[in-house]
Structures are given as structure tokens and as C-alpha cells.
Chains A and B, each alone.
Chain A
Amino acid sequence: MRKILGFLLVFAAAYGSAACATVRPEQRAVLADPTMRFEGEPGEKAATEHVLENREASFGGGSVRGGGCGCN
């Protein structure tokens, strides 16, 4: 229980500090670059994860869509 509370506290602090991050839209050119996207090449990533999930007992925690210009 202490571990969970500790994690929630750290998460809340980190999330709160996210509001302080001020990257303006015109500064997001690099963040929009394909090399900065966490999901990378989704097809290639899915194929590799498919192999690993059949070789190891672990699962989850894969990349989600995120990063990029946030311009939509």
C-alpha cells in the first residue's frame, strides 16, 4: 500500500509539474520529427513485440501514440 501511495504521490507531482512545461507551437518542429515519436514505425514495432511476447512471459507497457507537433 505504501508503494502504491508513493507512486501516486510521485505521479501527481510529475503531472503537476507538466503544467509548467511551456513549449510553444512554433517550437515543436523537432518534436514533430518522426525520430521523436515514441511509437516509431508502428508496423515494425508490432512485429517485434509479437516475437518477444512469444519468447518472454512479460506483456504490456508498449509505446502509445504521442509526441509530435500536437497541431490537430
Chain B
Amino acid sequence: MQLRRAFNRPRRFVATFAALAAWAFAGQAHAQVAQVDVRDTLFFEPSKSSKLFVMTPAAALAVQPVEWLDVHARYEADIVTGATEPIKSGPVADVVTSATHFSDVRNQFGGGLGIVRRDAHLSVDYAYGTESDYHSNAIAVTAGTDFFQKNTQIELQYARGFDQVCTTNYQPSTAPSGRTRLDSSDRCFTKSPDRASRSVDLDTFQVGWTQAWTPVFATQMVLTGALQHGFLNNPYRSVVIAPAGQDALENHPENRARGALSLRGRYFIKPIMAAAGGGMRFYRDTWNILSETAELEFEKYITQSFRILAHGRYYHQTEALFWSDDYTGGEPATGPRGQYWSGDRELSPLSSWMLGGRALLGLQGAPGARVLGFMIRFQASGSFDLLKTNLKDFTWSGTSPDDTVAMIMSFSLRGEF
């Protein structure tokens, strides 16, 4: 009851914020010992024929042995079970295949160092991922600094990925129409004569500019550029390319340059103790895909320790230049388009919307006291999102897919010691 009265008085809110901020500032003057995060994300895509379930447990540990140094490590797994159609055909060829079941586990390990000195920070991260048909290595370097009395923050990032993907052992001289898809990940990354390993190189550059304009309003602009080179197909998917039903391994270009620009803003509404935010993203790549994304977010304190968030997102994209629903004849969009072919529905024209929310409980000990007797801070959260995709032209032999609704649930715990 006292808490409710307090939350009806804006001046007390400001005083509370000032106290919290002072506490936060004081906290940063001393080295934090450790922060532990544990998270589990569940993804479920119901479908009559090709349902998909992914569980992603993750754990992270960050240690700050001295005030200016941060050492962190993390582990994450993707445990995937589901079914997918291995051969894509359109309505003209009308080759019907049943979905095949699969399961796989991806393990990813990562770690790095971060240094903070006065107005600048620098961090280096490395991650290694392994699964039965894919190995990935990624290194990222991030540097940032503050300007104009710390109201302007600039952050630069460069990331380099060196990946290996398992495929059938076709020769480079083999015509794309003669290449076959993988039927399983058995014997991948061995010396088996029917398997090969192909490279995927990824370079990503990013610059972010965050600006505080008033005590309650800030904006951010993020510009991303990425280059991909190598085997950019799905090794398991083939596409029907002849009216008689002949199929061949998906054949995408070996190079792709991608660019995205995001603009977003956040405004804190003191009388109701809530933050409202919105943003737009514009994307384009050399496969001629253009997309726009709009996002809205609203997060409100219910009590000092408990807050809820609601957000919505709308996304729209055009198709890749070479995408067609049927490569066997007819006119676009049901006819061949150049030398490439794809069964990837993510390259087809589509739109999607996502709605979701999160509840978060955050507790912090008063000066000299600890949460539950041993934690400086404790945080628990749970979230739920619903994602609906509208595929404009993509079909399985003329039938629209039924796996276009996905649910994402996430639970996390965090403790600072």
C-alpha cells in the first residue's frame, strides 16, 4: 500500500531514480566480482507435416577482477528436432515429397576480454560452434567511446567468421544441375569419399551512434555492412528444375553483400514510470532483397522491482532476384530466372508480424545488504512471442505451407555476486 502511494507522486519517483543512479554510479567505482546468467529459450513451430522444436539452453559468466577489466565466457546449445521437405517443387512440376524427420545439436562456446578506460572501451570475443554438419569460428572486435560530455556514444565493430559446411563430394567442375543434396549428416567431416567440406567466409562491419538529446529522450542509429562468400546454399535441399521432375542441389550465388540501417528512439514518461520506444530498419543486399522493419515497445514499472514489457514488430521483404516458386517453366514468378535456383522460402516475398511481452523481477540489495544474503543483484524474467509469417508466393507443389506460426518462450535468471 505504501508503495502504491509512493508511485502516485512523480517527485518521489525522481528522487528514487536519483538514489538508484547514485547507487549504480557508486557500484561502478568498485570491482564487481562475478555475474552469472542462465537462460533457456524454447521455439515451437506447429505443423501437420513439418513441425519444428528448438530448445536453446545457455549459460554465461562474467568476472571483473579489477575495475577496468571484464573477462567473460559462455556456452549455448541448440537442440533441434523436426521435419522438413527435402525437395522443393512448384505447382507446374507438381513433385510431391514427404517431410523427413531430423534432429541435431549445436554446441557453441565463446569468451573474451573487455577493457574500459576513461571514455573508451575495447573488447575482443571469440566463439566456436560445432554440429554434425557445420563448424563455425568467429572473432569480433568492438571499440567505443563517448563524446560531448558523454551525451554521444560511438561504437565500432568488426567480426570475421570462418565456417565449414558439409556437402556431398561433387567436383567444382560438376555442372550445378548435376550436384546432389545431402541425405544425412552421417560421415560428415570424416575422410569418407562421398562427403566434402566447403568454406563460408563472413565479414561484418557495424557502427552505432547513440545520442542523449534530453534527460528523458535518446536515439540510436546503427549501420551494418556484411560480406558473405562461399557455399551459401542449404546442403540438404534440392530443387526441381525440369518438368519431368529432375532435381538438383540448391544453387545460390557464392557472394552476397548486405547492408542495413536502423534508426530507433526511446522516451521515458515519468508520470507513469514507463519507457516507450520505436524504430525502423531498412535493408538491401546484392541478391536484390529489400526489406523494411517497424518496431514498437512499451515497458512499464509496476513496482520498483517488477516491470512488464509489450512489443510489436512488422516486417516486409521482396524476393531475391533469382527466386521463383517453380523453375520448370512458365513466366516469372513461376518460371526460371537466370542461372541460379532456390528452395529457400526466406528468399521469397514475405511479410511477418510478431507480438510479445516480458515480465521481469529485479532485486538489489541495499548498501551493506545482499539479496537472499549472498547476491548484490538478482533478476528473473520470462517472455513470450508469437511470430506469424505470410508467404506471398512460396508453395510446396502448389500448396501453401502450414508452418507459418511460431511461438518463442524464454526464461532467464541472473545473479551478481
Contact = CB atoms under 8 A, between A and B. Distances in A.
B410 A44 contact: yes
Interface of B: 14, 17-18, 20-21, 24-25, 28, 37, 39, 41, 43, 56, 58, 60, 116, 118-119, 121, 144, 146-153, 155, 157, 204, 206, 208-216, 218, 220-226, 258-262, 264, 266, 268, 270, 274-275, 281-283, 285, 287, 289, 291, 293, 299, 301, 307, 315, 317, 320, 346-347, 350, 352, 354, 358, 360, 362, 381, 383, 385, 387, 389, 406, 408, 410, 412
A65 B214 CA distance: 19
B386 to A, nearest CB: 12
Nearest to A71: B25
Interface in A15-33: 15, 18-19, 21-25, 27-33
A41 B220 CA distance: 16
A21 B208 contact: no
A72 B116 contact: yes
B43 A51 contact: yes
Contacts of A32: 20-21, 24
Contacts of B347: 57
Contact of A58 (B41, B149, B220, B281): B281
A58 B346 CA distance: 9
Contacts of B274: 35
Given A47-B39, A51-B387, A57 B320 contact: yes
Given A38-B210, A51-B408, 9 more contacts: A23-B149, A29-B14, A47-B41, A55-B346, A56-B317, A59-B260, A60-B260, A61-B223, A64-B220
Nearest to A53: B346
Given A32-B24, A66-B220, A71-B25, A57 B151 contact: no
Contact of A36 (B209, B213, B218): B218
Contacts of B155: 64-66
11 contacts: A27-B215, A29-B17, A36-B218, A36-B268, A38-B266, A44-B412, A52-B315, A56-B346, A58-B317, A60-B222, A71-B24
A38 B264 contact: yes
A64 B222 contact: yes
A69 B153 CA distance: 11
B93 to A, nearest CB: 24
B317 A67 contact: no
Contacts, number: 204
Contacts of B261: 61
A60 B206 contact: yes
A58 B204 contact: no
Contacts of A61: 222-224, 260-262, 281-283, 293
Contacts of A6: none
* Chain B at the A interface: SS class: strand
List the 3 shortest-distance A-B pairs measured between CB atoms, nearest first: A66-B210, A60-B224, A70-B150
A31 to B, nearest CB: 5
A48 B262 CA distance: 17
Interface of A: 11, 15, 18-19, 21-25, 27-36, 38, 41, 43-44, 47-48, 50-52, 54-67, 69-72
A59 B260 CA distance: 7
Most buried by B among A15, A38, A52, A61: A61
Contacts of B212: 21, 23, 28, 31, 67, 70
Contacts of B119: 72
A58 B153 contact: no
A33 B153 contact: no
Contacts of B410: 44, 47
A52 B346 CA distance: 10
A71 to B, nearest CB: 5
B112 to A, nearest CB: 14
B275 A38 contact: no
A22 B222 contact: no
Most buried by B among A31, A57, A58: A57
Given A38-B264, A51-B387, A55-B346, A23 B215 contact: yes
B210 A56 contact: no
A18 B209 CA distance: 10
A41 B266 contact: no
A60 B264 contact: no
